[in-house]
Chain A
């Protein structure tokens, strides 16, 4: 039984308009959406999301954005990189003192967004941020899949929930990466703009220049560079050079705190680095392992983007390599994993796989989703396993082109 029905007559049309989910997949997606929605509603009612039972805000990752934005509004953008000051502003945001610290590690370009959000009260800004970036993510995935079922698949993706809960920027990152990849062939300028905006998370953008250069997408390459420079210049004008200096000085601090000392639990880092540290490896060993994985990812991206592989495969390879290459990756960032998965499905829909082959692929995707789903219950970087599974599926498609060309 095909899990993902392919109708060649319709599938040959633009972007595979004939995508139709088989009933089991549909039901599973429906169940996962119910899980996402009910979990959020239950957490809100219980007072463990957005607003605590006593009416205060709940501290979570989003507090760092709001506090940084508030500091920037007050004209002290550089203070966002000063941990004690930033922590004080975070406590003001939620209205009570709390243990731990949610650091602001983004370049000053992202302060524009943070300042806009901090115009609203904390909880309102939290909800607005989560619910405004979510549609952008849905639209990006739908554009990749090329059919309305894209909404269903995107909303059902299990990494959606962690991102909602902590109010992080996974949706924005996924929509920028997904949008850039889907627009790259048809509209390289727009794609370049999106990639330029992605520089707010530089550690996820490292492989893009390699891919664009290897593939010869120079228009997008230079547009992205231009946009990045313009953004940096604008932020420099707005927030001053102190902010940039503070940001550059802060990178070392962040690396020291999260990668060397493990302020956050090691198992929360969904990378080869995090896995090595979770298993008890030393920091040096972890860096070596991570460097090997990153170099392998970079080399694969360069090779694949130089090759004559299908564009969907190139995009899927880049989408998953970007996540493998960085040492600093949390569960909410795995929303980006929806992009390579969507490209895999689009490839299946557009070209038509051998009937025997596709269910195998869907089982792999299902296993990856299951791994993300069980993350709250296990203290282990299972997200890395999900990444490797998807990377394996992409690699399988690349090295077995015969079966792909039906």
Chain B
């Protein structure tokens, strides 16, 4: 089905191309204004270099001076205001009024030392450009490339951060990166969050949020590399029960029938997996076999009981159960190393899904033709069935439902089958 539009988040902000163009134009115009102001300040001797050709001391001098002290093996001196001020004066080569204090924990000394390896002015420019890139990339990730970069560069605080030589871009990139990656790449999100501790005052609310949302993997960023995760998954998938799941998964066949999943842990596994993947399956199936999958979904999830989930209360109950299971699975998967085999398998399953979506997501974004060709692995058209869904595979199922309902709303060509699915699902 070509012409199917999945609604990426950026559309919600810029609902039509004209608005996107206006945002881009306004943002880039503002960015140009900032650039001109910086150029004029530079030529007028108010920015970077003063009228006598000497470097101007601004907030960045505290970072460079601390890094220099750290490189000289006197990291503790960065917290001694007198010694640090002397280092700042050495950095710019002339005395200046005021003192720019170094208030960061020693973790940030790594960055400072790396910057101090460069000459002062070069380091100042490199630091701003590098963190600006990160910041723009983060917003591009959130809003889509064009709008995101325009908004990032046009945001008025940009000018103040650059003129002060501060680290606002870096902080923004870390916070934005954490929030962006939290759902799909919890480990990376944890890394970002861990780096954010260089500014502890900005990190106070994150633990609360993560605990409230039970994102254990992100909280306890496991010291495991990605390859380790992959090995983990590989070893699990080789196990008899697991292999059954993976074979089923890869064949794009029925997930697990009630017969194949015995009562007990596997039932739980099965339900949870379905909870994660069923919307995707359902959506893809809608294109291929519009009427068959929902029933399979129900039966696969809840066995015979699925047939009786035709009334609203039961449907809600089922959703509630799915959400609960989802959270449970997430926490199990996060622990990864717990001895229970089923949660481990689940964790592996989740990682597998994630990899798959990460692998396919990009191409699926660009090409929006949708041809259900489930037999082949991961071609654009094939993966597209998972797009929109893969991105939310690990989100709470509430989000999954939101996403699917959006798709149902916007997809005109397949609207009729969708409705029939709904009717089918409700009428049972």
| A residues adjacent to B (C-beta < 8 A) | 30-31, 34-35, 38-39, 42-43, 46, 48, 376
Chain B residues, CB < 8 A from A31 = 29, 32
B36→A46 contact, CB < 8 A: no
A48→B44 contact, CB < 8 A: yes
| Apart from A39-B39, A42-B41: 16 A-B pairs, beta carbons within 8 A | A30-B29, A31-B32, A34-B29, A34-B33, A34-B36, A35-B32, A35-B36, A38-B33, A38-B36, A38-B37, A38-B40, A39-B37, A39-B40, A42-B36, A46-B46, A48-B46
Q: Is B1 an interface residue (CB 8 A)?
A: no
Interface residues of B in 29-59 (CB under 8 A from A): 29, 32-33, 36-37, 39-41, 43-44, 46
Chain A residues, CB < 8 A from B36 = 34-35, 38-39, 42
Chain B residues, CB < 8 A from A42 = 36-37, 40-41
Nearest chain B residue, comparing its CB with the CB of A27:
B25
Nearest chain A residue, comparing its CB with the CB of B29:
A34
Nearest chain B residue, comparing its CB with the CB of A43:
B40
CA gap between A35 and B33 in the complex, in Å: 7
Nearest chain A residue, comparing its CB with the CB of B36:
A38
CA gap between A54 and B13 in the complex, in Å: 46
Which of B32, B36, B41, B44 has the largest number of chain A CB atoms within 10 A?
Answer: B36
The number of inter-chain residue pairs (CB within 8 angstroms) is 32
B39→A46 contact, CB < 8 A: no
CA gap between A46 and B51 in the complex, in Å: 13
B44→A46 contact, CB < 8 A: yes
Chain B residues, CB < 8 A from A48 = 40, 44, 46
CA gap between A167 and B316 in the complex, in Å: 75
Nearest chain B residue, comparing its CB with the CB of A31:
B32
B196 to chain A, nearest CB (A): 34
Chain A residues, CB < 8 A from B41 = 42, 46
A34→B32 contact, CB < 8 A: yes
Chain B residues, CB < 8 A from A38 = 32-33, 36-37, 40
Interface residues of B in 311-329 (CB under 8 A from A): none
Interface residues of B in 144-175 (CB under 8 A from A): none
Chain A residues, CB < 8 A from B33 = 34, 38
Chain A residues, CB < 8 A from B37 = 38-39, 42
CA gap between A368 and B40 in the complex, in Å: 22
CA gap between A39 and B32 in the complex, in Å: 10
Number of chain B interface residues as a range:
10 to 19
CA gap between A34 and B44 in the complex, in Å: 19
CA gap between A155 and B33 in the complex, in Å: 16
CA gap between A46 and B39 in the complex, in Å: 12
CA gap between A46 and B50 in the complex, in Å: 13
B35 to chain A, nearest CB (A): 8
> Mask for B15-37, Cβ within 8 A of A = 1, else 0?
00000000000000100110011
CA gap between A43 and B45 in the complex, in Å: 11
A96 to chain B, nearest CB (A): 16
Chain B residues, CB < 8 A from A39 = 36-37, 39-40
Chain A residues, CB < 8 A from B44 = 43, 46, 48
B403 to chain A, nearest CB (A): 35
Q: Which 5 pairs of residues, A with B, have the shortest CB-CB distance?
A: A48-B44, A42-B40, A38-B36, A42-B37, A38-B33
A379 to chain B, nearest CB (A): 13
A97 to chain B, nearest CB (A): 17
Give me 20 A-to-B residue pairs in the complex whose CB atoms sit less than 8 angstroms apart, sorted by A's number.
A30-B29, A34-B29, A34-B32, A34-B33, A34-B36, A35-B36, A38-B32, A38-B33, A38-B37, A38-B40, A39-B39, A39-B40, A42-B36, A42-B40, A46-B44, A46-B46, A48-B40, A48-B44, A48-B46, A376-B43
A392 to chain B, nearest CB (A): 29
B40→A46 contact, CB < 8 A: yes
CA gap between A98 and B416 in the complex, in Å: 81
Which of A34, A42, A48 has the largest number of chain B CB atoms within 10 A?
Answer: A42
CA gap between A34 and B32 in the complex, in Å: 8
A155 to chain B, nearest CB (A): 15
CA gap between A116 and B267 in the complex, in Å: 96
A238 to chain B, nearest CB (A): 39
A282 to chain B, nearest CB (A): 30
B271 to chain A, nearest CB (A): 55
B41 to chain A, nearest CB (A): 6
CA gap between A70 and B238 in the complex, in Å: 96
Chain B residues, CB < 8 A from A30 = 29
A38 to chain B, nearest CB (A): 4
Chain A residues, CB < 8 A from B43 = 376
B216 to chain A, nearest CB (A): 49
Chain A residues, CB < 8 A from B46 = 46, 48
CA gap between A67 and B291 in the complex, in Å: 90
CA gap between A43 and B38 in the complex, in Å: 10
Chain B residues, CB < 8 A from A43 = 40, 44
CA gap between A30 and B44 in the complex, in Å: 24
CA gap between A30 and B26 in the complex, in Å: 12
Interface residues of B in 169-187 (CB under 8 A from A): none
CA gap between A42 and B163 in the complex, in Å: 14
